[in-house]
A and B are shown apart, each in its own frame.
Chain A
Amino acid sequence: MRLLDVMRHAQRCLALVLLLWTVAVRAQATDGVTVGDVAPSFSLKNIDGSTVSLSSYSSQKGAIIVFTCNHCPYSVKYEDRIIALHEMFAPKGYPVIAINPNDAEKVPEDSFENMKIRASERKFTFPYLIDDSQQTALAYGAKRTPHVFVVSNTKEGARVMYIGAIDDNATDADAVETFFVRDAVSELLAGGVPTKPLTKAIGCSIKWKNK
């Protein structure tokens, strides 16, 4: 009798665990913005101590928001390509805004001090913002680093026009066949909308703070 009770209890616990997991996974998949949504506003601290907000880009055509960080090898592999995107598109009205959403307590390499060091070593010419509260990453639904959100300033305000990967080959920049972000921004600049507005890529999970 007693054993049966214990077993029943265990069964209930297991079902609960699984249910929670499924719910968490579903929430992950649906949270954040999708293409066409209003771009969530933000106001975050830059490595130079200034505060940068999305609204300060309202005179631009848009922005290429990249959730990235110092420690993730995928982010490191893409650094040159992020710099190149800024060089290519900032003069045309789509500058890069890099945002580090990681909890520095979990990953000390991603601390504000280390962001400054990395930005100066790699000569970032775009802002590199710290998302201390992780609210911006949550609002956008960023899942991994790097994770790109291209935003356009429209009559209805800033809208998300592209979400996903930078290109189709993280490992080898020379072997890239499709340049997703470059193509999306080029299409926007030509007055159209991205033909491929959503792409996926392997990346480091964002290191969320323990709740």
Chain B
Amino acid sequence: MIFPFLVLVASWLEPSVEVLNLAQLHARIYRGSDTTYVVNFWATWCRPCVEELPAFEALARRYAAEPVVVLLVSLDAIGDRTTKVEPFLRRRGYQHCRFLLLNEPKPHIWIDRVDPSWSGSIPATMFVRGDRKLFGEFQFNEELLDSTFQSFRKGSP
């Protein structure tokens, strides 16, 4: 009697991870709006990524009232979405980021389309606002992420 109820509650609490391809991701972030997009590429198997995720949640929380969208883009295999990625995010309890999973074959092609300077190693993060973009392979802490974000938003340098 109680078990189906628990399953139902779990499904409410489960953060849902939206699957999309790169064209769809680009359509979402390159729309020339005033919104600043912070796009973090991560995976459950990537330790430095998992370590820096709290900084992104903190950023999303801090700017929740402003036109700032933090997208956590998982590069886990699509088959791991419900078995690994969603349970991981549920355990972490993130509320302010949006969760996506990039389902795109042929990394040797799409990595360059994200940014030609990307070697393919993660973590990697991209800031986008209008037609401005900053991309880097870097592991952030909360302070550095916030200061980089602020500099980017101001438009310097």
* Docked complex: A171-201 residues within 8 A CB-CB of B: 171, 177-178, 180, 199-201
Q: Nearest Cβ in chain B — how far from A206, in angstroms? A: 8
Chain A proximity mask over B101-128: 1 for CB below 8 Å, otherwise 0: 0000111100110000111111100000
Contact A205 B148 (CB under 8 A): no
The secondary structure that dominates the A interface is: mixed
Chain B contributes a number of interface residues (CB within 8 A of A) equal to: 36
* Docked complex: A133-148 residues within 8 A CB-CB of B: 143-144
B residues near A41, Cβ cutoff 8 Å:
none
Contacting residue for A205 out of B123, B134, B150, B154, CB 8 A: B123
- Total A-B residue contacts, Cβ distance less than 8 Å: 102
Is A60's CB within 8 Å of the partner chain B?
A: no
Contact B148 A144 (CB under 8 A): no
Q: Nearest Cβ in chain A — how far from B73, in angstroms? A: 12
Contact A22 B121 (CB under 8 A): no
12 contacts between A and B (CB under 8 A): A14-B151, A15-B156, A17-B144, A22-B136, A26-B117, A72-B45, A144-B119, A200-B107, A200-B120, A202-B111, A203-B120, A205-B137
Residue positions of A touching B, CB distance < 8 A: 11, 13-15, 17-19, 21-22, 24-26, 28-29, 72-74, 107, 143-144, 164-165, 168-171, 177-178, 180, 199-207
